[in-house]
Every structure is written in structure tokens, then in C-alpha cells.
Structure 1
């Protein structure tokens, strides 16, 4: 059983591509992902599962590391919440995206770093401790910064409640992480055993989220796919390049530069999808950028990790 879970974790980028193909051929198969059960959003519930698994891998020491590397953390977090939102806004303007896709792209830029960055950093032989700290810190402060930055960038175009978004992030992100952290604190040996299975579980859940969003928005994706796919690819690679530049200018080591670049390019795209569905229900296409970004960042990230490991 453990071997199967390891294979799922290892070949996640292939599994997610298969999920996308299936969702395009049989879109109704994943409709349940964006539905509700007894008033509870299944999409948000799935996201909470992913963040809970992240919490079980964290320890108090991970947050202590923040104070051991204050410069690197400050640089990484500043880049996360300054470069990514502004990059998203610039690309939406340059490519003249419609309102829904603009909202979705900006949400991809304003959410915290994705948990997959830690895995890719490990594969790329980067600074894993720094990656974990950056992901944890950016996630913990996201209830404050994500709504504020989103409001600043699109508040004059679309009416939404940043307070409600703050509450959503607390429910979807912070509470599951705290529960996972408590479980790891109380039962460290049990959580250590779970580490063999939780990454694969998170991978499966992310595949379901992506398949659900793409299936529901099949027509919108196929009719506007070329432009939004180009934007997503450009956003990802520009983020990676800017991450390298920021790390280099800050005088970081090779491992730290790779880590900041990966952290900047990897976003919690599942969260952006959940926020788009919850707070912009009239803009169905707003969920599309997050789903496509999730597919691309995991596919391209796996390839780049190999390149970084061998040649950088």
C-alpha cells in the first residue's frame, strides 16, 4: 500500500494531466466537486483536507526557523505579496482578459505559496527548511494580506467583501492547519507514519479539485483556452525568473535562490479557485485560472526540478 502512495506522489504531474483529460471528456463526472452538501461547499472542504495534511507535517521548530533566517523570510514574503499580485494585474491588462479571468488571475497572484513548493524544492536540492518556513508564514498571514491586496487591485471593478474573504481563509486554511499542527504536537509518532501517505492523499484531492473546475468550465476553457493558457505559462515563468533575480540581488546562496524562485512561482491555486467560487459566484470563469495554474505549475515544476538538480 505504501508503495502505491509513493508512486502517486512521484507521478503526480502525470495523474493530474490524466484527470484533466478525463474531465474534458466526461465533464459531468466531477460536477460534485463544485456542489454543496448540507450547505457546505465540497470544494472548500477538499481544500481544508489539503491544508490539514500540511499542518500535520509542521512543527513549532518550523516557525522558529523564521527567526533564524529573518532576511530570507522577509525577502521571500515581500516578493510573494508584491511581485505576484502586480504581475497578475499586469498580465491581465497586457492580454486584455475579461473581468472574470482577470479576477481569477489576480486571485492566483494574491494567495499564499502552494504546499507543492516544498516537494519541488526538495527535488531541486534547494533549501527545504526555508521553503517550509516561507510556505507556512505566507499561509498564516494570508487571511490579512490576500483580501486587502485583492480589494486594492480589483475593488474598483468588482464589489466583494474582504471581511467575508478573511473569514473564508480562516475557515479553509488556518483552522485546518492549526488542527494538523495540534495533532502533530500531541501524536508526533502517528503523524510521522502518516507522512508516507499524506502527500499522495493531497495529490489526489488536488486532482479532484482541478478536474471539477475544468469539467464545469469545459466550454469556457475550450473557447478561450489559447489566451488564458498562454497567460498562465507566462505568469509562471516570469515568477520563476523574478524569484531568481530577487534572490540573487538579496545576496542569497544558490540553494536559497532556487528556493525563493520556486516559492514565488508555486501558488496555492486551489485556494484561489475556492475563493473565486465562493466570493465571485456570478463570474464562473474566475475559477479557471486557478485550475489551469495548478495543472501547469505541477507539470512544469517537476521538469524544472530535474533541471535545477542536474544543471543549476
Structure 2
């Protein structure tokens, strides 16, 4: 069983691509992902599972890194919540995206870093401790900053309730993480054994989310794919390039520079998709950028990890 989950973790980007292909051929097979079960939003439940697994790998002591490395953490978090939203906003304007795609793209830019960044950082021989700290801290403060920055960027154009978004992030992100940390505190040996399976579980969940969103929005994706794919690719590489520049100017070492670049480019795209569906139900295409970004960041990240490990 452990080998199966290790296989899923290792070839995650290929499995994501397969999920995309299957969802385009058989879109109805994944409609349940964006549905409800006994009043429970399945998409948000799946996101909660991913964040819960992240929580089980953390201890309260891990957050001590925030105080041990204040410069690296401050630079990384500032880049996360300043540079990424600006990149998203400018790209939406330059390419004249419609309201739905603009919302989706900006949400990709305003959500916290994704847990996949920790894996890619490890594969790239970056600073894993810094990556985990940046992901954890950006996630913990996301209930305040994600709604606030989203409001600043699109509030005058598209109405939504930032307070409701704050509550959603608490429910989807913070509570599962806290439960995971508590489980790790109470049963550390059990959580240690789980570590071999958690990346595979998270990978499966992310694949389901991507397949569900693409299946539901098949026609929208096929009709707008050229522009939005170009925008997504640009968003990713601009973030990676600027991340290298920020790390270098901040005087970080090579491992830290690689980590900041990866952390900046990797977003919790599943969360952006969930927020788009929950808070912009009349803009069905708003979930598309998050799904496409999830596919692209894992595919490109896996390739770049090989390049970083081999040549940097």
C-alpha cells in the first residue's frame, strides 16, 4: 500500500494530466465534486482534508522558525501577498479578461501558498524548513489578507462579502489545520507513520478537485483556453522570476532564493477554486483559473525541480 501512495506522489503531475483528459472526455463523472452531500459542500470538504493532512505534519514548535528567521519570513510573506496579487491584477487588465476569469485569476493571486511547494522545494534541494514556515504562516493569516486584498482589487467592480469569505477560510483552512496539529500533538507516533501516505492522499484529492472543476466548465475552458492558459503560464513564470529577484536582493543564500521563488509561484489553487465557487456562484468561469493553475504549477514545478537540482 505504501508503494502505491509513493507512486502517486512521485508521478503526481502525470496523474493530474490524466485527470484532466478523463474529465474532458467524461465530464459528468466528476460533477459530484462540486455538489453537496447532506448540505455539506463536497469541494470545501476535500480542501479541508488536504489542509488537515498538512496540519498533521506540523507542530507548534515549527512556528518558532518565524522568530528565528524574521527576515526570510517577512520577505517571503510580503512577496506572497503583494507581488502575486499585483501580477494577477495586471495580467487580467492587460489581457482584458471578463469578470469571471478576472475574479478567478485574482483569487489565485490572493490565496496563500500551496502545500505542493514544500514537496517541490525538497526535490529542488531548497530550504524545506523555510518553505514549510512560509506555507504555514501565509495560510494562518489568509483569513484576513485574502478577503481584504481581493476586496481592494475587485471590490469596486464585482460585489462580494469579504466577511463571508473570512468565515469560509476559517472553516476550510484554519479549523482543519488546528485539528491536524492537535492530532499530531496527541498521537505523534501515529502521525509520523501517516507521513508516508499523506502526500499521496493530498495528490488524489487535488486531482479530484481539478477534474471536477474542469468537468463542470468543459465548454468554458474549450472556448477560452488559449487566452487563459497563456495568462496562467505568464503568472507562474513571472512569480518564479520575481521570486528569484526578491530573494537575491534580500541577500539570501542559494537555497533560500530557490525556496522563495517556488513559494511565490505555488499557490493554494484548490482554495481559490473553492472560494470562487462559494462566493461568486453567478460567475461559473471563476473556478477555471484555479483548476488550470493547479495543473500547470505541478507540471512545470516538477520539471523545474529537476533543473534546479541538476544545475543550481
How many Å separate the matches in 2 of 1:45 and 1:244?
A: 35
Secondary structure of the residue aligned to 2:157 is coil
- Aligned residue for 1:74? 74
| TM-superposed deviation, 1:246 | 0.2
- Aligned residue for 2:250? 250
- Aligned residue for 2:156? 156
- 1:23-56 deviation line (CA, Å, top 9, x unaligned): 0000000000000111111000000000000000
Deviates more, 1:61-70 or 1:122-131: 61-70
Aligned pairs for 1:76-155 within 5 A: 76-155=76-155
Aligned pairs for 1:179-198 within 5 A: 179-198=179-198
Secondary structure of the residue aligned to 1:252 is coil
Moved over 3 A (4+): none
How many Å separate the matches in 2 of 1:59 and 1:6?
A: 23
How many Å separate the matches in 1 of 2:113 and 2:296?
A: 15
- Aligned residue for 2:277? 277
| TM-superposed deviation, 1:148 | 0.2
Q: Normalised by the size of structure 1, how large is the TM-score?
A: 1.00
| TM-superposed deviation, 1:60 | 1.5
- Aligned residue for 1:204? 204
How many Å separate the matches in 2 of 1:186 and 1:306?
A: 37
- Aligned residue for 1:307? 307
Question: Which runs of 5 or more structure 2 residues have no equivalent in the other structure?
Answer: none
- Aligned residue for 2:171? 171
- 1:145-202 deviation line (CA, Å, top 9, x unaligned): 0000000000001111000000000000000000000000110000000001111000
How many residues align? The count is: 312
- Aligned residue for 2:30? 30
Q: Normalised by the size of structure 2, how large is the TM-score?
A: 1.00
Question: Which runs of 5 or more structure 1 residues have no equivalent in the other structure?
Answer: none
Secondary structure of the residue aligned to 1:112 is coil
| TM-superposed deviation, 1:61 | 2.0
